[in-house]
Chain A
Amino acid sequence: MHMINFTLFKKEFKSNLVLYGIFSLVILMYGIIVVDLFNPLEDSSWIEQIMQIMPELMSFFGFALDDVTNYQAFVAGYLYDMLFILLGIIFITMLVNRLVFRYLDQGSFGYLIATPNSRTKIMFTQAVTLICYLLMQVMLMFVIVAGYGKITHRNYVDIGRIFYLNFSFFLLLLFISSITFCFLSLLEGKLATGLNIGVLTFFFFAKLISNLGGNYEFFKFLTPFSLFNPRMIVSFSKTVHIYNVILGLVTILIYTLTFKLFNKRDLAI
C-alpha cells in the first residue's frame, strides 16, 4: 500500500491500545448488563392493553412494545440509540486528539513532515489507524450483542439483523470521525476543540430530543445522527439503506475535503 506509512501506523496503533482497552471494558460491561436485562415475556397481551390505554405516557418513557418481545429492537433502543453513540463520540475525540491534534498543537507534526512522506500520506495513515480502532470497537459490540445474546437468549437473536445494525453503526462512527478529524486538523487551539465538542454535543442532544416525538420530532431535521435510526435498522426498513448510503458518501466527502485543505495549511514547528 503506497498511501500508508507502516512505521507510523505501527507506532500509533501501539500507543493507543490502552485507550482502546479502557473503552472496550466500558462497552463490555454495559453491553453485558443490557443484554442480561432483556427479559422476554411469554404473554405480552396485558402490556398491549396498557399501551392502548395510555400510549403517550408509555412512549414518553421510551417504552415500545417491541422491547419486551424483540431482542433486536431492545438492544437497538437501549445500547445503540444513545449509549454507544455517546461512547463513540468520546472515543473518537480522544483518539483524533492523540493522532492529529496534539502533534499540530505542540508543533511536533513538523518532525513527521520533515521526512520523505507527504502530508496526505501521514494524515491518511492517522485516519486509517482511527478507522481500524473504530472497526475493532464495532466488532466487539457485535460479539457481545450477537454472541453473548445467543448464549443468554438463544431463540430471540437474529444474527443477520444485528450484523446490519453494527454495520450501520460503523458508518455513523465513520461519519462522526470525519467531523472530528476535519475540525481538529484544520482549525487551531480552542476553536478546534470547542467547535468539535459543541457541534457533536448539539447533534447528539438534538437526536435525544427528537426521540421524545410529538412536538419535538422536528429536532430530527437538525441532526445528521437521524440518519442512524437503530429501531428502523433492525426492522430492515428500506429507507435505512438510503440513509446508510448518504452517511457513507458524506463521510467520504468530508475526509477528502479535509485532506485537500490540510495540504494547503501552514504548519507551525
Chain B
Amino acid sequence: MREIIKVSNLTKDYGNNKGIFDVSFSINEGEVVGFLGPNGAGKTTTIRHLLGLIQKYHGSAFIKEYNCFTEQVLVQKYIGYLPGEIKFIEDFDGDSFIRFMAKMKDIKDLSYAYELVKYFELDISKKINKMSKGMKQKLGLIVAFMNKPEILILDEPSSGLDPLMQHKLVDLIIQHKQMKATIFLSSHMFDEVEKTCDRIIMIKEGRIVADSSIKDIKAKMQDIYIIRFSTEEMASRFVNNTGGSIINKATVEYRLSESLNKLIKQLVEFDILEITKKKQTLEELFMQYYGDAYD
C-alpha cells in the first residue's frame, strides 16, 4: 500500500520541554487515523508541520512525494484542512467565505459545498463575526470537505458541535472514507475516533507513545461488570476470593478475563441485587495505559 503521509523524526523544540520530539509515523492511502493526546501534547504542532506552516528543527514531513515545507503549494492541492482554532477572515459572511475559499483553491463546482451547507443546517447568510463557535466549526468543515479532497487533515473536527452534529460529522467522515480519502484527525473525543478510525496514534508530551490498529486495541478491551451485592460483607468476600474491586459499599467492579460462565457459577452462592455490563471504552483503555496524561 502507498504511503500518503510520512513523518520521520520530526522535532520542533520550543524549549521548556514544549514541542515535539522525534515524532515518526506514516499513513497509508485510504486509511483513517486518529491522532490522540491531551491538550498541549503536540497534536497541533505536528499538524502545522504537515501544512507547511512551521519549519522543523530536524526530521522531515512528506505528503505524497512532496516535502511539506518546501513544496507546500503542491501539497495543498490534495488537502482539505480544518484548523484547530478557527480564526476566519472576518469581513465575510458565510456564503462569500465559501466562494472566496473555493476560488483560492481553484474549485469550480460548488454543488457539493452547498450540499454540505444543507447537511449541517448552517445559515450562511450570517456575518462570520456574528457566528457562534459551532457555526464557525461547521463553516470550517464545509470548506475542508467541499472539493472531496484526497487527503483530509482535521484538527479537533467535532469541537463546538452539539451531539446531533457530532453524529452527522462521524457519518460524513465515514462517507469520505468510503470515497477512499486518506484522513488524519486529531481528537480527544474517543467516541468519534472509535467509530471512524482504522488506527490510532497517541502522542504525549511531544512523543509518540502508541501506534496501533483499532482492532488490536479492541481485542485488548475487556468487559466490565458492575455487581451489587445485598451486603458489604458479601462484596468483600467476593473480592477476596475472585477478584475485582469495591467501588461503593456493596458494589463491585469486576473485569472479566475468563469465561462468563465461571463468573456466574461463583456468583450463585451470593445474594445479588443487580448486575450491569459496562463496555470498556477506548478512553478507559488509554487511561489504563497512559493514566497520568488524562488527569
Binary interface encoding of chain A residues 83-125 relative to chain B, with 1 for a CB under 8 A from any of its CBs, else 0: 0000000000000000000010011101111111111000000
A107 near B51 (CB under 8 angstroms)?
A: no
Q: How far in angstroms is the closest Cβ of chain A from B229?
A: 53
Contact residues in A for B90 (Cβ distance below 8 Å): 108
Contact residues in A for B79 (Cβ distance below 8 Å): 114
A113 near B72 (CB under 8 angstroms)?
A: yes
Give chain B interface residues in 167-204, CB to chain A under 8 Å.
Answer: none
B53 near A116 (CB under 8 angstroms)?
A: no
Tell me which of B44, B55, B74, B101 contacts A115 (CB under 8 A): B101
Q: How far in angstroms is the closest Cβ of chain A from B103?
A: 4
Interface residues on chain B, size class: 20 to 34
Residue A190 at the B interface, CB < 8 A? no
Give chain B interface residues in 101-152, CB to chain A under 8 Å.
Answer: 101, 103-106
Contact residues in A for B48 (Cβ distance below 8 Å): 267, 269
Contact residues in B for A11 (Cβ distance below 8 Å): 100
Give chain B interface residues in 36-84, CB to chain A under 8 Å.
Answer: 44, 48, 51-55, 72-74, 76-77, 79, 81, 83-84
**Central interface residue in A107, A267, A269, by most chain B CB within 10 Å:** A269
Known: A110-B83, A114-B79, A269-B48. A5 touches B72 (CB 8 A): no
Contact residues in B for A264 (Cβ distance below 8 Å): 55
Q: How far in angstroms is the closest Cβ of chain B from A16?
A: 10
Residue B87 at the A interface, CB < 8 A? yes
A267 near B104 (CB under 8 angstroms)?
A: no
A11 (CB) vs chain B CBs: closest residue: B100
A266 near B54 (CB under 8 angstroms)?
A: yes
Tell me which of A7, A118, A269 contacts B87 (CB under 8 A): A269
B76 near A114 (CB under 8 angstroms)?
A: yes
Residue B289 at the A interface, CB < 8 A? no
Q: How far is the CA of A60 from the CA of B77 in the complex (A)?
A: 63
Residue B91 at the A interface, CB < 8 A? yes
Known: A110-B51, A112-B104. A269 touches B85 (CB 8 A): yes
Residue A235 at the B interface, CB < 8 A? no
Known: A7-B103, A269-B48. A111 touches B83 (CB 8 A): yes
B102 (CB) vs chain A CBs: closest residue: A7
Contact residues in A for B83 (Cβ distance below 8 Å): 107, 110-111, 114, 269
Tell me which of A7, A15, A106, A107 contacts B104 (CB under 8 A): A7
Contact residues in B for A32 (Cβ distance below 8 Å): none
B89 near A111 (CB under 8 angstroms)?
A: yes
Contact residues in A for B270 (Cβ distance below 8 Å): none
B73 near A116 (CB under 8 angstroms)?
A: yes
B53 near A110 (CB under 8 angstroms)?
A: yes
Known: A5-B104, A266-B54, A267-B53. A115 touches B85 (CB 8 A): no
Q: How far is the CA of A170 from the CA of B258 in the complex (A)?
A: 84
Give chain A interface residues in 2-27, CB to chain B under 8 Å.
Answer: 5, 7-8, 11, 15
Contact residues in A for B101 (Cβ distance below 8 Å): 111, 115
Contact residues in B for A117 (Cβ distance below 8 Å): 73, 76, 104
A7 (CB) vs chain B CBs: closest residue: B103
Contact residues in A for B294 (Cβ distance below 8 Å): none
Residue B25 at the A interface, CB < 8 A? no
B103 (CB) vs chain A CBs: closest residue: A7
B153 (CB) vs chain A CBs: closest residue: A114
B91 (CB) vs chain A CBs: closest residue: A15
Q: How far is the CA of A7 from the CA of B100 in the complex (A)?
A: 7
Q: How far is the CA of A269 from the CA of B50 in the complex (A)?
A: 13
A114 (CB) vs chain B CBs: closest residue: B81
Q: How far in angstroms is the closest Cβ of chain A from B93?
A: 13
Q: How far is the CA of A117 from the CA of B101 in the complex (A)?
A: 12
A121 (CB) vs chain B CBs: closest residue: B73
Contact residues in A for B106 (Cβ distance below 8 Å): 116
B55 (CB) vs chain A CBs: closest residue: A266
Q: How far is the CA of A54 from the CA of B64 in the complex (A)?
A: 79
Known: A110-B83, A269-B85. A115 touches B52 (CB 8 A): no
Contact residues in B for A267 (Cβ distance below 8 Å): 48, 53-54
B155 (CB) vs chain A CBs: closest residue: A269
Q: How far is the CA of A112 from the CA of B44 in the complex (A)?
A: 18
A267 (CB) vs chain B CBs: closest residue: B53
A120 (CB) vs chain B CBs: closest residue: B73
Q: How far is the CA of A106 from the CA of B88 in the complex (A)?
A: 9
Q: How far in angstroms is the closest Cβ of chain B from A4?
A: 13
Known: A110-B51, A111-B83, A267-B53. A118 touches B100 (CB 8 A): no
Q: How far is the CA of A119 from the CA of B85 in the complex (A)?
A: 21
Tell me which of A110, A116, A266 contacts B105 (CB under 8 A): A116
B81 (CB) vs chain A CBs: closest residue: A114
Closest 9 CB pairs of A and B: A266-B54, A7-B103, A115-B104, A107-B87, A116-B76, A108-B87, A267-B53, A114-B81, A269-B83
Residue pairs across A and B with Cβ atoms less than 8 A apart, 23 shown, are A5-B104, A7-B103, A11-B100, A103-B89, A106-B87, A108-B90, A110-B83, A111-B83, A111-B87, A111-B89, A112-B89, A113-B53, A113-B72, A114-B51, A114-B79, A115-B105, A116-B74, A116-B77, A117-B104, A118-B73, A266-B53, A267-B48, A269-B51
> A107-B87, A114-B51, A114-B83 provided; 4 other pairs, C-beta below 8 A?
A113-B72, A115-B104, A266-B54, A266-B55
